[in-house]
Structure 1
Amino acid sequence: MKTLTNIEKNFLMESIRDVPDFPKPGIVFKDITTLLNNPEAYTMLMDHLEARYEDFGLDYIAGIESRGFIFGAALAAKLGVGFVPVRKKGKLPSATIAEKYALEYGFDEVEIHIDAFAGNEGAKVLLIDDLIATGGTAAAAAKLIHDAGAECVEACFVINLSFLGGVKKLADLTPHYSVLEVG
């Protein structure tokens, strides 16, 4: 399995802009739009993900709203597999299943179509998003994939904010992989 060199990881990290005090004071937001508008960085990332997952025998890629759509749909096209959106409650037009997860103050919910993997029970699914922080959304999405009759073979993130411990919430649900670690 292809791995990135430290030089490549540094190049990708340098292509991601830090935005201080967004969305609130004290937060340093990792803005991937600068990676997306850098063709060399985006191509390097997508080629790396294609090389990593080409032998997984995937049937689908599930992307978490909204930045997971950017990486997930592109990777699905590169691998010739289907794409399934994981969306916030009330955004999908047909029958859905939902999973709630805790926030700092309250709860939120994500959904997928109930028939997302219809006719392909046990489908192998890669879950993808741009970043994992506290892990609530990713854990809820992994549970949804299972509840819809598929297997979440791995959860992939461009960035893991490891100091927040979000991948621990995935430990009993699916293996995980992060391209970049921010400690």
Structure 2
Amino acid sequence: MTNHDAVDRGRALVLEHFRWIDGAADTWSMFRSSEALAGIVAGLAALVEDDRPDLVIGIESRGFVLAPAVALTLGVGFAPVRKDGALFPGPLVERTTDRDYRGNRRTLSARRDLFALGQRVVLVDDWIETGSQALAVADLVADAGADLVGVAVVVDEASRAARARLPMLRGLVTMDELSPLDGRDD
């Protein structure tokens, strides 16, 4: 399967399995099917393969599902980014985000020793709205001496301002492509 085919397949599976529940986006249901999970992971990996990453990082919690699977697909390692004071032994780099779409600020942390100087890193997550977490991660990675070279998400809803401050951002689908709330299954 070519990169383009993998992205198209991942995109189709997102559109098939995505749901709204009580007005909230339910990305967890997309991972319940092994076919959908495998196809979405393959699509995300195809989005960042040309970035030649040495490491894939993911933000707690859905990033902890997707990023390790993408790392395995690409044959590289994984490093976690934790939220708000989670137990995390070792030397840390931390950043506080700007306000997210709910108006919240989060403190994100990563272990400094999981990054190498000049290492090429990609961030994988389920959704990007304001970009506040991705921008904080870009600073964390830079503080650790590595380079964030790409971001891959299942759903891209990033603002133009966030997109301008991030490295190449790619999504399997955009928010506008998801079925409208009026047609949701409750």
| TM-score using structure 1 length | 0.83
Identical positions, percent: 31
Q: 2:107 aligns with which of 109, 123, 140?
A: 109
CA distance in 2, matches of 1:58, 1:172: 19
- Matched residue, 1:15: 17
Considering Cα pairs closer than 8 Å and 6+ residues apart, tell me whether 1 or 2 has the greater RCO.
2
What amino acid is aligned across from residue 77 of structure 2 in structure 1?
Answer: G
User: Taking structure 1 as reference, are residues 42 and 171 closer, same or farther at Cα in structure 2, changes over 3 Å only?
Assistant: same
Asked if 1:90 is matched to 2:92, the reply is: no
Preserved CA contact (<8 Å) 1:62 1:84: yes
Asked if 1:37 is matched to 2:32, the reply is: yes
Q: 1:78 aligns with which of 73, 79, 83?
A: 73
- Matched residue, 1:178: 171
What amino acid is aligned across from residue 114 of structure 1 in structure 2?
Answer: R
CA distance in 2, matches of 1:57, 1:112: 21
- Matched residue, 2:136: 140
Asked if 1:48 is matched to 2:53, the reply is: no
What amino acid is aligned across from residue 36 of structure 1 in structure 2?
Answer: F
Preserved CA contact (<8 Å) 2:14 2:154: no
Q: CA deviation at 1:8?
A: 6.0
CA distance in 2, matches of 1:94, 1:74: 24
Deviates most, 149-158 or 45-54: 45-54
Q: For 1:42-100, what per-residue CA distance to the aligned partner results, in whole angstroms no more than 9, with x for missing partners?
A: 12112223333334321100101110111100111121211010111322222211111
User: Taking structure 1 as reference, are residues 137 and 50 closer, same or farther at Cα in structure 2, changes over 3 Å only?
Assistant: closer
CA distance in 2, matches of 1:53, 1:106: 29
Q: 3-state DSSP class of the match of 2:56? A: strand
CA distance in 1, matches of 2:27, 2:34: 13
The answer to which structure has the higher strand fraction is 1
Ranges in structure 2 where 5+ consecutive residues have no aligned partner: 177-186
Q: CA deviation at 1:106?
A: 5.5
- Matched residue, 1:63: 58
| TM-score using structure 2 length | 0.82
The answer to which structure has the higher helix fraction is 2
What amino acid is aligned across from residue 25 of structure 2 in structure 1?
Answer: K
Corresponding residue pairs, total? 170
Q: 3-state DSSP class of the match of 1:171? A: helix
User: Taking structure 1 as reference, are residues 156 and 52 closer, same or farther at Cα in structure 2, changes over 3 Å only?
Assistant: closer
Q: CA deviation at 1:159?
A: 0.6
Ranges in structure 1 where 5+ consecutive residues have no aligned partner: 21-27
Q: CA RMSD in A?
A: 2.0
